[in-house]
Amino acid sequence: MPAEQVRGGREPDLIVGIVGAIAAEFVIDKTRVFIGGLSAGASMAVILGQSYPEIFSAVAAHSGLPRGAACDVKSAFAVMRGNAAVHDRSLERNSSPMRTLVIHGDADGTVHETNGRAITKQAIAAIKKAKVNVSKRRPLSGSVTTKSGRFTEFVDDQGLVVVRELIVSGGTHAWFGGSNLGSFTQDCDLNASNELIRFFLDLPAYDSSRK
């Protein structure tokens, strides 16, 4: 529902409240609060990052939908299949710039790969709207990501990676780098957990030539 995809929505506010409670109980660096998720969790991570930029420093979306792509169950399933998104322009106008990592499989039969690319475009648009220059950077040769799929980075004028997109060849609707014996996990060269940490801490994506 559109009301749950904006600042002040019940679900976003609930999660932000949990983050606030943890921050109040424990000593944490509030400039290093990140959020990520898989599938619906990825979609909520994008919503939270773009709606609460004063709380979250970066977002990771693994196999999710872009913010505002769907407004009800019917449109959600249509978007998941890769059909034209039902865009809510008010959500686009209110999106805040946010460093974003996108991970998606090109063989995802549940949430089509086009949704991952749409999250990338949405993130870049919000960053450019904030008057930040963004340029595309080619991947390092020999990196595990280039062997496993399509790897694209977008950097600002200072060289900071503001958006990183990892499209994994043969990737299904599962967390990459886990055991095939697990539920919603897929054993592959790219380890999503490692890539989240690398992106959040502004480290280069894994490069097999630097072992």
CB 110 within 8 A of CB 39: yes
CB 186 within 8 A of CB 168: no
Tens of pLDDT, residue by residue over 127-170, are 998 888 999 886 654 555 555 788 899 999 988 899 999 999 99
Q: Tell me the CATH number for domain 2-197.
A: 3.40.50
**Segment 33-43 mean pLDDT:** 95
Residue 120 gets the label, from left (phi > 0), alpha (psi -120 to 50) or beta, of alpha
What percentage of residues in the chain have a pLDDT greater than 90? 49
Tens of pLDDT, residue by residue over 45-58, are 999 999 999 999 99
Alpha-helical regions (H) of 4-112: 10-25, 40-51, 73-80, 89-93
Token pair belonging to 82: 């890769």
Q: What is the pTM of this model?
A: 0.86
What percentage of residues in the chain have a pLDDT greater than 70? 82
Burial 18-51 (b: 16+ CB within 10 A, else e): ebeeeeeeeeeeeeebbbbbbbebbbbbbbbbbb
